[in-house]
Structure 1
């Protein structure tokens, strides 16, 4: 963290991607890059400050929930947050080659919790669902949590179908929550 503090002070609060050339890259996307700072912290560096504000708002709103990584600090174009030690849902599926009911139950609980937090968009991409070492579920990349209302996780359902687990997912949803299955079944077709 000391190195990170010196980067911030050197750049008057802002950071750039070149400042992290010696750090491990743990994620890259359209909105930014994520670097591991310490064994339990990472930093997301944003290309667009407006996107950073959207994600920051969602993270702040979700700090009372265990599904949102802990927020430690932020600046004009970065957020320092909890580094989730574990695997993403796609990594889990690739390794296990199945989608057990216990995992689907955690995913359904994640969507319920997103609603409880007050998110308007109850949806996420498959790759944004993580499991820590204790197999507790977390969700990342929250910039769209507000601003677009979506009560059915259509992006998630399309993504899990694309991974080849759509029927298995919906089978477990039917067993766990028949009314929800009925509401969502058209999304899988």
Structure 2
């Protein structure tokens, strides 16, 4: 089997084509490709229109939250939105560890998820960017209103792999104590036995 990625073709409208002419390739993920545009904007081009629509609907519902990108344009296969500055959370932790202020930001984001009435209170480290003020930005929201997860399982699994889960749970204990026992129990059980 080849390691080469398979190419794909997406028919874009004239507006998206115009954006791409001024864009610079940033990266490619499972769902599509992202280009940096002038004025701190990005265009994310999706392989699947349904995934694009799902992400757009989440971003529409989170417009009052500063943790989520602002939408500028939306097409059937793309979204133009604000650029999330900063370091990817897992890279930041590898370089700096998880200090109290960064952990405090994560707890604040998870409280925001609850306030936004997310049914999936989870996100992966790689979908979070920490700016110079240690403020977290979400870049790839998925299924937050359609899937159910009552604790940040993937996030804590990632923090465990980075060796900072204990540091994070200490901050949860001091700042979000009402969920500490439940989250601590669930992640310990999950890591030991792989049970949700």
TM-score range, shorter chain: 0.7 to 0.9
**TM-score by structure 2 length?**
0.81
Listed as ranges, the matches of 1:135-174 within 5 Å are 135-174=134-173
Deviation readout 1:107-131 (Å, 9 max, x if unpaired): 1111111121222211100111112
Tell me the equivalent position of 2:66.
66
1:12 lines up with 2:13 in the alignment: yes
Q: Spell out structure 1 runs of 4+ moving beyond 4 A.
A: 13-16, 19-22
- Distance in 1 (CA, whole Å) between partners of 2:177 and 2:41 is 39
User: Is contact 1:122-1:153 (8 Å) kept?
Assistant: yes
Structure 1, 50-59 or 87-96: larger mean CA deviation: 87-96
- When residues 133 and 38 of structure 1 are mapped into structure 2, their CA distance, relative to the original with a 3 A threshold, is farther
Listed as ranges, the matches of 1:92-171 within 5 Å are 92-96=92-96, 98-171=97-170
Tell me the equivalent position of 1:181.
180
Unmatched tracts of structure 1, length 5 or more: 1-9
Tell me the equivalent position of 2:45.
45
Count, aligned residues: 177
Tell me the equivalent position of 2:86.
86
- When residues 151 and 188 of structure 1 are mapped into structure 2, their CA distance, relative to the original with a 3 A threshold, is closer
Unmatched tracts of structure 2, length 5 or more: 1-10, 189-196
Q: What SS does the corresponding residue of 2:43 show, helix, strand or coil?
A: strand
Q: What SS does the corresponding residue of 2:144 show, helix, strand or coil?
A: coil
Deviation readout 1:2-30 (Å, 9 max, x if unpaired): xxxxxxxx9535858xx959843323211
Instruction: Note the aligned Cα RMSD (angstroms).
Output: 2.2
User: Is contact 2:156-2:187 (8 Å) kept?
Assistant: yes
